[in-house]
Amino acid sequence: MAAPKKSVVKEAEQEKGSEAPLEFTKEQELAALRDMLLIRRFEEKAGQLYGMGAIGGFCHLYIGQEAVVVGMQMALKKGDQVITGYRDHGHMLACGMDAKGVMAELTGRRGGYSKGKGGSMHIFSKAENFYGGHGIVGAQVSLGTGLAFANHYRSNDSVSVTYFGDGAANQGQVYESFNMAELWKLPVVYVIENNRYAMGTSVTRSSAQTDFSKRGVSFNIPGEQVDGMDVRAVKAAGDNAIAWCRAGKGPYILEMQTYRYRGHSMSDPAKYRTREEVEKVRHDQDPIEQVRNRLLAAKVGEDELKAIDAHAREIVNAAADFAQHDPEPETSELYTDVYR
């Protein structure tokens, strides 16, 4: 394949600088730990509530992938939009949405962000610039590109951060979106969360090109592979990609190499991978343990770290309590918020 004459991909490569993840200050490490622990404890509780029958329908947990949304969020500023698929609880919490409102949506209660009518996969908050929560694999990619088009049209400097999975990356509308985004230089960061599986299918069984950072090459969209288990690497890559977009240079692709510990959804028998594979990632790469170990090495006391965890559990317990006691929506709600 001949290289493009003027390669924006090369230009982006040159701007990237050092490959080593930027060091965090102690405050950044603590903030990242707080946010990742909140997501993990929230997801553990959601799993428990699902097992008790308090949550119905679909529910996809984000455990293992926490560093991706937390690192990206650290690179954003107010006004930037976030959109993702159905594995969305972590994205909402990272955006600053209230754990109570998210959990109450999972249990189908009035106080949920979608008034209990959307469930786990369909949650939105215009106030926090979170645009869902989408159950159709890949659909959010066109919508996220549309958000970027709106930013461009309005000449603001906001960036759309559009998350999707390795499986979704094989959908046709992704490439129609890539074409338009580069053609019109739209400010969108495509974050491909490569957690190695789409339901029970590994990337090597489903994808002809498993280096997802290259998926934009024929459109001249630069991309890079990122250690999505290291929150510092995510933040550094996010800073670089967001700066590219804000400078009016068009879209950017970040392939986050990550891993989900739990099944695809709550009804996944997980026969497509070994227990050892999961345990190895947990043991060697866990995003939360990495930060904890760095903080301990920097002489932050075990007590302080335990207090952060206790606080996350408190928030989650209060959310679970609210989500089980808040009333269900009135029957009349069946007729509101729907197109007829």
Ligand X SMILES: Cc1ncc(C[n+]2csc(CCOP(=O)(O)OP(=O)(O)O)c2C)c(N)n1
The least distance separating Mg ion from the CB of residue 252, rounded to whole angstroms, comes to 20
Candidate list 22, 127, 136, 310; residue touching ligand X; CB under 6 A: 136
Q: Can you give the C-alpha Rg of the chain in angstroms?
A: 20
Q: Any contact of residue 91 with ligand X (CB under 6 A)?
A: no
The least distance separating ligand X from the CB of residue 302, rounded to whole angstroms, comes to 33
Q: Which CB, 136 or 318, lies closer to ligand X?
A: 136
Q: Any contact of residue 198 with ligand X (CB under 6 A)?
A: yes
The site that binds ligand X (CB under 6 A) totals a number of residues, namely 13
Candidate list 90, 101, 167, 216; residue touching ligand X; CB under 6 A: 167
Candidate list 197, 212, 219, 322; residue touching ligand X; CB under 6 A: 197
Q: Any contact of residue 195 with ligand X (CB under 6 A)?
A: yes
Q: Which CB, 166 or 227, lies closer to Mg ion?
A: 166
Q: Which CB, 151 or 195, lies closer to Mg ion?
A: 195
Please state the separation of Cα 43 from the chain's center in Å: 14
Q: Any contact of residue 166 with Mg ion (CB under 5 A)?
A: yes
Q: Which CB, 225 or 324, lies closer to ligand X?
A: 225
**Residue 296 CA: distances (Å) to CA of 261, 283, 290, 307:** 24, 17, 10, 14
Report the residue number whose CB is nearest to Mg ion: 165
The least distance separating ligand X from the CB of residue 314, rounded to whole angstroms, comes to 29
Q: What are phi and psi of 329, to 5 degrees?
A: -65, 155
**Residue 290 CA: distances (Å) to CA of 35, 110, 237, 286:** 14, 38, 18, 6
Q: What are phi and psi of 257, to 5 degrees?
A: -85, 110
Candidate list 125, 160, 170, 195; residue touching Mg ion; CB under 5 A: 195
Q: Which CB, 84 or 195, lies closer to Mg ion?
A: 195
Q: Any contact of residue 165 with Mg ion (CB under 5 A)?
A: yes
Secondary-structure percent of the chain, ordered helix, strand, coil, rounded to 5: 50, 10, 40
Buried/exposed code over 280-294 (b: 16+ C-beta within 10 A; e: otherwise): ebeeebbbbebbbeb
Instruction: Indicate the burial class of 62 (C-beta count within 10 angstroms; 0-12, 13-18, 19 or more).
Output: buried
Cα within 13 Å of Cα(196), Cβ side: 16
